[in-house]
Structure 1
Amino acid sequence: MAYNVMLVEDDLQQQSAIVEALQSEAIHIDVFAMREPAQLRFTQQLPDLLISDIILGDEIDGGFDLARNLQRYQRPIPIIFLSERQSEFDIMAGHDIGAVDYLPKPISLAVLKRKVDNLLRLTQMPKAEPSLSFIEGLQLDRHNLKAFWRAQPLQLTVTEFEMLEQFALTPIGSVINYQQLQTATQGVVERNTINTHICRLRNAFKKITPEFDAIHNVYGRGYRWQ
């Protein structure tokens, strides 16, 4: 079966270029220019991946609103935002909504293609048993890409789940380098965005245990859980 990718982009030239770059026998693309018809499509079929611009027509946060609507379906569907808006506030807002990536325009079609291939392979791989964990109090449900800290759910994106899984499967105190974290996410995470995801991981734990301080930087090398 083909993967179902939803593309929401109001620039018809960019829309056409992205479709040409991504479409194949393995990928079917539903294309929309505005939020409302894309949102209506959710009621008929949910995508395996959502790619969306943020500004859609007159809606300056149309892509964000679309992603919020998608989250209501309680499915771990990855989201990639494409936007000319590159402030730290906008990037963090995109990740807070659940984006696994936030790509600047003009985008590299080759990079987008690689990220899409990796994400679909990651999220559609055969279901596995819940992962083992060296970390006491942390449980991972690989089947549903969910993590639980002291029996309470952590609010994580798919990317952050994969990064956390790398910590869970590494003996306590061992250094996890940047390359291992990139590999754990199938190359979705770039070196310069790793720290942003680590900050989000820490904050997810702090929402449950405010005193959380287990993920430590190892200067020039990576991170360790201790």
Structure 2
Amino acid sequence: MQNMDFTIAVIEDDPIQLENLQTALKGQGFSVVSYADRVSAEKGFNQSLPDLVISDIILGTEMDGGFDLAKHLLTFERPIPIIFLSERQSEFDIYTGHALGAIDYLPKPISLNVMIAKVKNLLRITGSTASNPTQPQSASKIEGLHLADNQFKAYWNDKPLDLTATEYEMLRQFALSGQKTVVTYDTLQESTQGVVERNTINTHICRIRNAFKKVDQDFNLIHNEYGRGYSWQNKN
């Protein structure tokens, strides 16, 4: 798929920053829609969903406007990846962003070239699969875990898991590796084509575990292997 095939929504209340983001993205051939506040963005999404959302956290008078927008995105059947771009860099804010399904949480100010590279990597993941709707399911080596690559959906004992596209790709590494095999930090990071930073892998794994616990409260099969990565096994 070409860049022009993707629509990116940018939500930013600072008009200068909004214009800079629009110019950078349009310069790469992306279709861009922009909003200055959460309410107008939600109205726009109810009419037509973008392929990717880039949003600030503080939107006008709403200190958590971006977080509330992410909650709204979770109500749609089709998962919409979101990148937060914010001056708020506390551990709690970063955790909250990822807990709400963010693919990435980037600091302000940021190099537009770096941001564009991350956007392209992310859309390469989601776009390559979406462009091949006949792609078969991944062969899972884990009993009870089934993957549908063409939809970025995973099922545990036939129950759907609430995962972002990035978390799906990370979970897929466990399915392909099988039980008792260490999936290294490098493998998990490479599976997202650099979208996920090394220091946020633990947060994504936590979200993956929580997704399993929502459908299986006794789930306890993903374990940290100190200094190496994670493994899927029953250690009880």
Instruction: Please tell me the TM-score bracket, short chain as reference.
Output: over 0.9
Q: Give the one of 139, 149, 155 matched to 2:156.
A: 149
- In the alignment, structure 1 residue 60 sits paired with structure 2 residue 73: no
Counterpart position of 1:200: 207
Counterpart position of 2:39: 36
Counterpart position of 1:86: 89
Question: Deviations 1:59-78 (Å, cap 9, x if unpaired)?
Answer: 11211222222222211210
Q: How many residues align structurally? A: 226
Question: Deviations 1:203-223 (Å, cap 9, x if unpaired)?
Answer: 222233333222122222212
8 Å CA contact 1:76, 1:144 repeated in 2: no
State the 4+ residue runs in structure 1 displaced beyond 3 angstroms: none
- In the alignment, structure 1 residue 97 sits paired with structure 2 residue 112: no
SS at the partner of 2:183?
Answer: strand
Question: Deviations 1:147-194 (Å, cap 9, x if unpaired)?
Answer: 111121212111111100011011322221111111111211111111
Counterpart-to-counterpart distance in 2, 1:74 and 1:136: 26
8 Å CA contact 1:147, 1:154 repeated in 2: yes
Counterpart position of 1:129: 136
TM-fit CA distance, 1:21: 2.4
Unaligned runs of 5+ in 2: none
Counterpart position of 1:217: 224
- In the alignment, structure 1 residue 138 sits paired with structure 2 residue 142: no
Counterpart position of 1:24: 27
- Under a length normalisation based on structure 1, what TM-score does the superposition of the two structures give? 0.93
Counterpart position of 1:118: 121
Counterpart-to-counterpart distance in 2, 1:19 and 1:102: 19
Deviation larger for 31-40 or 163-172: 31-40
SS at the partner of 2:177?
Answer: coil
Deviation larger for 161-170 or 28-37: 28-37
SS at the partner of 1:23?
Answer: helix
Give the residue type in structure 1 aligned to 2:92.
F
RMSD: 1.6
SS at the partner of 1:90?
Answer: helix
Give the residue type in structure 2 aligned to 1:58.
T
Deviation larger for 89-98 or 140-149: 89-98
Counterpart position of 1:7: 10
SS at the partner of 2:97?
Answer: helix
- Under a length normalisation based on structure 2, what TM-score does the superposition of the two structures give? 0.89
SS at the partner of 1:5?
Answer: strand
8 Å CA contact 1:6, 1:51 repeated in 2: yes
Counterpart position of 2:196: 189
TM-fit CA distance, 1:116: 0.5
- In the alignment, structure 1 residue 47 sits paired with structure 2 residue 50: yes
Identity of aligned residues (%): 58
8 Å CA contact 2:174, 2:231 repeated in 1: yes
Give the residue type in structure 2 aligned to 1:18.
L
Question: Deviations 1:12-69 (Å, cap 9, x if unpaired)?
Answer: 2222222232223531111221122222211332100010011111111211222222
